[in-house]
Structure 1
């Protein structure tokens, strides 16, 4: 039996791979307050009072203990039947929490790129880009951002307006809105509109190379003079120093990003205006609103820039920028109110980046933007399994050069797994996952006295 906890995504190919290999039954369980699982017609602060991570994983346990499926006469309920949870990203974190909290119900779980740690601001989102992206691109952005922040700190209103006009964004009066807009090609932990570093994938059929197109444009050595001349347009505001590749960066924003708004003005909330109370106060049920509520109440991970080292995004992006959205979106109700900042302990009570549980497998990506709020967080140091017993009880795999949930894609044609066509490190993580699951099934059968043995994969 397999239960995949995929609250924010569809059934993944890798789940099909597991089901085929082990003749399992797969169930996709929707997260409360997503999709068709809204208990109310609107998402007011009061109506969202039943939406916590604790309640979400309790849903999973209740479902597993009580499920009855038409056409299946066998006993499916946990813990009498074998249940293995699978999830990626936020659902990956929920898998980890559920296996730890309800280890008497769920036999095992696999968390891919699982978000297991809540933080207030999350500038580490940009660290993999800073480290692994083309360095002429990141160096250009670092330099431009330093100068933008100099103008924000020392410039007058006319100079700031002039700077924004270079990007075609002079009508965005809030500096945070401007900073977030020009950072959209890099993405952020919550809200962006074009494919970014997170959308890079080893399988071009599902991934995007738009981030690299952005870098190619920013570092284009053959730009016409009317573009490169902009590198000097703001020099008077920075001790007459030019801004290398400013023209290329601004041209990308004007040529590729602004047109995504269509005929909507850039200073409209349907485009780039976020500093708008009425926009966030809309109580219509939506994925965006549900995810924001989790961020505002317990998970955090607000968009933020590093304040004391090179930054790819303007340092005006601080946690207060996102917190303002929370205040506007969720005013106190009669029965519920949100904390002034996220109550991170509600999310971190399960162990954060250092959590573990028997038969809980973690898979991560070396270049994943969410790496630092998961099991493989850089500040946790290197992760090793020093004994076979530990490797079996606490399986872990960090995919070299891997991104977000890279193991959740597999080459599959006509329900046939084409493993020999996959890149080596993807193929091997899939084979490793199959070995891990086979071991879990063998342990279950041994405990149940069935004594079944499976061949090594």
Structure 2
């Protein structure tokens, strides 16, 4: 749906003119659910009752770690949220997550302020909102849980939050849908690159793996002249630290996710692969061109095209270096700053450090990059958060797993949906190592999609398997909502 359409007044199915989808509302949310005496902050939300009829579900979602004002399309039937609302006579809500956008309990992102930025506080936000909001619609003061079936939906981190909330706030949300839900907190998250390696063109994968193996050999031997020559191949001889250089080579791989599902199959990613694999108009065979050609062409691509795209006019160290502790970048605590707010959650709870694969696994990311590379930066960003020493700046992923069960949640009326080509797949219930196969009460739906593909109706039009997941989800929700009975 085009932005201009979101800003126009909405006409309900009975002909009533409603506010535009972009109309912003505010809810008084508790700053700290363990200490209500600290007061409240204004949490933004967006809402429509375009398709609502009494008895229909209230469908709540949060986009998670972003400014939610850009996600008002999730009120509409261009998304699975809106399609479910349309077919089940529901109302849709988008709620902004604390510490993102304009929903900030405090006016800075200091360590002191971020103490109330936890997964559990976010779970409590969702529950408290559902229990206390008076929605701006007829009868909106009488649709709290117990009076109406509430459905919680989310994707990626918000998908994990959906699963965690269903496990933790068991009497609030009747049913839920979690897309690409990263429920399994993993510190050494080398699995991020596995779906990319498995799904990308074989020739590109082979040549990237060959280059990375060479990079790791040179960096591990650490012969100064050889290391300098290697860095010069990529025009990165200004990077002083070898792990920064190794981490920089991960950058082209991230475009596999960043253009999914919004722009079709990763144009930036495939431009990178084409630079390596197309020679004189001819594509490489499945085994690639081999190390020498791949190294030279990848280096030329960095020097002539890619570095300027990601770094602009910055030098190597300014753009890609991570060791300058004097840089104000680390502790800029203004709001909003979505990157810093998300870093707090990964540094303290989730982990998700993007590393090279174990030695017995093929890898397209350097093994020189370890969790220590990320955790050092966590210490720079949030000094004092782990005590007096940055050396202990490690996420407590174990506590998160123990609290909400990760892959092994037994929650009922919770749909998990995943895409086989999602780089986050290995943190979801669809991971190769996950043993939870799902059940009738907890369906696990799998398509050939990417990250959160199933939440967008247009992705169903592009893939029959994504469409099948969407259709199945709607039918499951219809059955569950038909069984709901008020308890209030």
TM-score (norm 2): 0.78
Q: Structure 2 vs 1, CA of residues 335 and 60 (structure 1 numbering), >3 Å: closer, same or farther?
A: farther
Q: Structure 2 vs 1, CA of residues 149 and 208 (structure 1 numbering), >3 Å: closer, same or farther?
A: closer
Q: Which residue of the partner structure matches residue 171 of structure 2?
A: 104
Distance 1:301 1:8 in 2: 15
Distance 2:388 2:99 in 1: 16
1:333 to partner: Cα distance: 6.1
Q: Are 2:286 and 1:246 equivalent residues in the alignment?
A: no
1:68 to partner: Cα distance: 0.9
Q: Structure 2 vs 1, CA of residues 448 and 73 (structure 1 numbering), >3 Å: closer, same or farther?
A: closer
SS of equivalent residue, structure 2 residue 317 = coil
Greater mean alpha carbon deviation, residues 30-39 or residues 4-13: 4-13
Matching residue within 306, 309, 315 for 1:265 = 315
Q: Are 2:482 and 1:442 equivalent residues in the alignment?
A: yes
Distance 2:192 2:421 in 1: 10
Greater mean alpha carbon deviation, residues 72-81 or residues 95-104: 72-81
Q: Are 2:100 and 1:34 equivalent residues in the alignment?
A: yes
Distance 1:39 1:220 in 2: 52
Distance 2:214 2:266 in 1: 30
Which structure is higher in RCO with an 8 Å CA cutoff and minimum separation 6?
A: 1
Matching residue within 457, 460, 468 for 1:410 = 457
Distance 1:66 1:113 in 2: 29
Number of residue pairs matched by the alignment: 407
8 Å Cα contact 1:360/1:395 also seen in 2? yes
Distance 2:474 2:207 in 1: 43
SS of equivalent residue, structure 1 residue 213 = helix
Aligned-CA RMSD value: 2.5
Deviation per residue, 1:328-387 (Å, 9 max, x gap): 11111699999631111332121111113010110011121111111112112583x6xx
Matching residue within 194, 209, 222 for 2:280 = 222
Q: Which residue of the partner structure matches residue 150 of structure 1?
A: 217
1:137 to partner: Cα distance: 0.8
1:129 to partner: Cα distance: 1.7
Q: Are 2:121 and 1:25 equivalent residues in the alignment?
A: no
1:121 to partner: Cα distance: 1.1
8 Å Cα contact 1:355/1:375 also seen in 2? no
Q: Are 2:400 and 1:347 equivalent residues in the alignment?
A: yes
Q: Which residue of the partner structure matches residue 235 of structure 1?
A: none
1:198 to partner: Cα distance: 5.2
SS of equivalent residue, structure 2 residue 418 = strand
Deviation per residue, 1:378-407 (Å, 9 max, x gap): 112583x6xxxx42x1122011x2211110
Greater mean alpha carbon deviation, residues 288-297 or residues 209-218: 209-218
Q: Which residue of the partner structure matches residue 366 of structure 2?
A: 314
Distance 1:128 1:292 in 2: 23
Q: Structure 2 vs 1, CA of residues 433 and 306 (structure 1 numbering), >3 Å: closer, same or farther?
A: same
Matching residue within 428, 449, 468 for 1:374 = 428
8 Å Cα contact 1:65/1:79 also seen in 2? no
SS of equivalent residue, structure 1 residue 249 = helix
8 Å Cα contact 1:410/1:422 also seen in 2? no
8 Å Cα contact 1:117/1:353 also seen in 2? yes
Q: Are 2:352 and 1:301 equivalent residues in the alignment?
A: yes
Q: Which residue of the partner structure matches residue 276 of structure 1?
A: 324
Deviation per residue, 1:27-67 (Å, 9 max, x gap): 11111111111122221111110011011001110110000
8 Å Cα contact 2:429/2:436 also seen in 1? no
Distance 1:136 1:17 in 2: 40
SS of equivalent residue, structure 2 residue 123 = helix
Distance 1:301 1:329 in 2: 16
8 Å Cα contact 2:65/2:342 also seen in 1? no
Q: Are 2:255 and 1:199 equivalent residues in the alignment?
A: no
1:217 to partner: Cα distance: 1.0
Q: Identify unmatched segments of 5+ residues in structure 1.
A: 188-194, 225-240, 413-418, 450-457
Q: Which residue of the partner structure matches residue 166 of structure 1?
A: 233
Q: Identify unmatched segments of 5+ residues in structure 2.
A: 1-57, 283-289
Which runs of at least 4 in structure 1 moved beyond 3 Å after TM superposition?
A: 333-340
Q: Which residue of the partner structure matches residue 191 of structure 2?
A: 124
8 Å Cα contact 1:6/1:30 also seen in 2? yes
Q: Are 2:128 and 1:44 equivalent residues in the alignment?
A: no
1:422 to partner: Cα distance: 4.0
